[in-house]
Amino acid sequence: MAFTQKPLPYAENALEPNIDAQTMNIHFNKHHVAYITNLNAALAGTEAENDSIEDICKNIVKFPVAVRNNGGGHFNHTFFWKIMTPNGGGIPTGEVAAAIDKAFGSFDKFKEEFSKAATTRFGSGWAWLCVKQGGEVAVCSTANQDNPLMEIDGAKCGTPILALDVWEHAYYLKYQNKRVDYVAAFFNVINWNKVAELYAKGK
Ligand code: MN3
């Protein structure tokens, strides 16, 4: 069973002006598709061909680098599309909001920490909010297409509940070198309902 791409849950221009339609089009149809194509090629004929993408990420140390890069790319982008929405932004409510307040002191402090992780990630990578067993949340960042499901240097941040792609391909057409503006705009499209759902499942 080869991996396939699920349709984007909104129109390519639906996140304008925060994420422009041209970037969304190329990111979804070219970058994400290439990760899937390369992942399928790397797994073809191997024992892991029918594994879930989550299991592949969790066992990434057993795989060659092509699976790490493209498997991470597939998981991360699938995740990224669903934690954004045209009616997003604002502030979270309920359990996940309480966990954020507990960990960071306030939503604004969390926003500061997450934005710092996203803007200071050198080169290409991702910023994450994760939940550990017990419900505690934490911010981290990963290089390239790595993600918190992977055992990286023995350290794991937890189960991802929010992610931001800070590869230049994710923002350069609209924001050029101003990653900080892209990170700020991302907060206008976060799907907090989805984050709350992932928190409830992952805690
Ligand atoms: Mn990307």
Identify whether 12 is part of a domain: no
- Regarding whether 185 and 129 lie in a shared domain, the answer is yes
Side chain identity at residue 127, one-letter code: A
State pLDDT tens for residues 57-95.
999 999 999 999 999 999 999 999 999 999 899 999 999
Residue 8 lies in a domain: no
193 lies in some domain: yes
DSSP state of 169: G
Distance 185 CA to ligand 1 centre (A): 16
Virtual CA dihedral for 110, 116, 185, 172, nearest 10 degrees?
A: -160
Among 188, 191, 146, smallest CA distance to 165 is for 146
**66 and 143 both lie in a single domain:** no
Distance CA 55, CA 62 (A): 11
Same domain (yes/no): 109, 163: yes
Residue 105 alpha carbon to ligand 1 centre in Å: 31
In the reported structure, the alpha carbon of residue 14 is separated from the centroid of ligand 1 by a whole-number distance in angstroms of 18
CA–centroid distance, residue 77 to ligand 1 (Å): 6
Single residue among 31, 49, 82 that ends a domain in this structure:
82
Answer whether residue 13 is part of any domain.
Answer: no
Question: 87 in a domain, yes or no?
Answer: no
Domain boundaries, position 57:
21-82
pLDDT in tens, 12-51: 999 999 999 999 999 999 999 999 999 999 999 999 999 9
pTM (2 decimals)?
Answer: 0.96
Q: What is the DSSP string of 30-54?
A: IIIHHHHHHHHHHHTTSGGGGS-HH
Ligand 1: centre distance to CA 83 (Å): 14
Q: Count the neighbouring beta carbons within 10 Å of the beta carbon of residue 129.
A: 30
Q: Ligand 1 center to residue 169 CA distance, Å?
A: 6
